[in-house]
């Protein structure tokens, strides 16, 4: 749903506040806009003659929650929408547009905690060997997979890499992450070697073959243009099917794999937090549960008196 917020100047100002003052990512701002748009559509049914943000009360919120529950919305979706509206009303209260925030006392659904899915070391090694590096796009795919695993980057960070943000001499990449925050992440020799082969003429060759407009993005699509998030997922899906494993693998799975393997080999949790670009250590701590569970499993399977 695309909502025209021209009739809701407070929403426009809030979204601008997020983007300019809070330095919030474009994707997050888009998600906030979508969640507020859904709520405004709901309010139109509650207030056919028109409404103001100060009109919203507890009964409205209960009806909104009941509607989402009746439609069996996921807990994560409900929690996200309430969080967005709570932030919006906090802004309205700060700007003296409303007297109180009706979402302050709203309890969001308790989210189930799921341990992240990851690949075993032999699985990721097999995955990295699948691309046909005798072909230009195969070599591009190898660089894509190597960078995902070597840096633990998000898909948006991967496709955002430019020729200037990868330093093969010093073996690191500069990732532009959430909240417009940058971080430096080292890469290993296998990733470096793949990138060197790709940049030695393969990237330029693909662009010249299809007369692609000049651009600085590191990874190109089959026509030489900048690679997109969707293309990364499609490429990974292709190789996962070849790998034939019974796991739901996404680019984020490779990020989980990166973190889990680091901790398995003795990395410090704080260091992993920095490498992943997590603002809070609590976000990174989920991986300690993964490694603890694995250790317990190994113990129970192999210790004679377990």
- 178 counts as catalytic: yes
Q: How far apart are the C-alpha atoms of 12 and 92, rounded to whole Å? A: 12
Chain length of the chain = 306
- 265 counts as catalytic: no
Catalytic residue among 86, 178, 204, 233: 178
Catalytic residue among 140, 255, 256, 261: 255
Question: Which residue's structure tokens are 């099917």?
Answer: 241
- 47 counts as catalytic: no
Measured CA distances, 150 to 64, 125, 203, 222, 245 (Å):
44, 12, 20, 23, 21
- 255 counts as catalytic: yes
Catalytic residue among 81, 154, 192, 256: 154
Question: Which residue's structure tokens are 């990174």?
Answer: 284
Measured CA distances, 39 to 28, 33, 80, 173, 296 (Å):
17, 10, 12, 41, 45
Question: Which residue's structure tokens are 């840096």?
Answer: 151
Angle ∠(224,227,228) on CA atoms, nearest 5: 145
Q: What is the dihedral of CA 181, 186, 191, 197, to 10 degrees?
A: 80
Q: How far apart are the C-alpha atoms of 204 and 38, rounded to whole Å? A: 45
Catalytic residue among 86, 183, 204, 252: 252
Residue 245 near residue 120, CB atoms below 8 Å:
no
Axis crossing angle, helix 26-46 with helix 9-20, rounded to the nearest 10: 160
The alpha-helical segments, DSSP class H, found in the chain are: 9-20, 26-46, 58-70, 75-94, 121-128, 136-151, 155-159, 189-197, 203-209, 229-243, 251-264, 269-276, 281-284, 286-302
Looking at the annotation, which residues are catalytic? 154, 178, 252, 255, 278, 287
């Amino acid at each position: 749903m695309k909502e025209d917020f021209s009739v809701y100047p407070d929403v426009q100002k809030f979204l601008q506040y997020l983007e300019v003052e809070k330095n919030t990512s474009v994707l997050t701002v888009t998600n906030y806009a979508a969640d507020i748009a859904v709520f405004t559509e709901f309010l139109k049914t509650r207030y056919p003659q028109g409404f103001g943000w100060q009109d919203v009360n507890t009964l409205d919120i209960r009806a909104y929650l009941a509607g989402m529950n009746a439609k069996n919305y996921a807990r994560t979706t409900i929690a996200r929408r309430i969080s967005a509206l709570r932030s919006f009303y906090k802004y309205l209260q700060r700007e003296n547009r409303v007297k109180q925030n009706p979402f302050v006392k709203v309890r969001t659904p308790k989210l189930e905690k799921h341990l992240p899915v990851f690949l075993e070391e032999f699985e990721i090694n097999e995955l990295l060997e699948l691309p046909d590096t005798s072909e230009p796009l195969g070599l591009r795919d190898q660089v894509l997979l190597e960078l995902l695993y070597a840096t633990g980057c998000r898909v948006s960070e991967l496709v955002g890499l430019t020729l200037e943000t990868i330093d093969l001499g010093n073996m690191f990449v500069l990732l532009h992450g959430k909240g417009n925050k940058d971080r430096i992440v080292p890469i290993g020799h296998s990733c470096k070697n793949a990138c060197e082969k790709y940049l030695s003429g393969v990237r330029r060759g693909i662009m010249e073959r299809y007369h692609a407009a000049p651009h600085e993005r590191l990874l190109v699509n089959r026509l030489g243009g900048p690679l997109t998030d969707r293309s990364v997922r499609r490429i990974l899906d292709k190789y996962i099917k070849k790998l034939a494993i019974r796991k739901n693998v996404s680019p984020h799975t490779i990020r989980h794999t990166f973190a889990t393997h680091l901790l398995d080999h003795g990395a410090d949790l704080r260091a992993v937090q920095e490498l992943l670009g997590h603002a809070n250590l609590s976000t990174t701590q989920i991986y300690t549960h993964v490694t603890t569970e694995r250790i317990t499993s190994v113990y129970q399977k192999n210790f004679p008196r377990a």
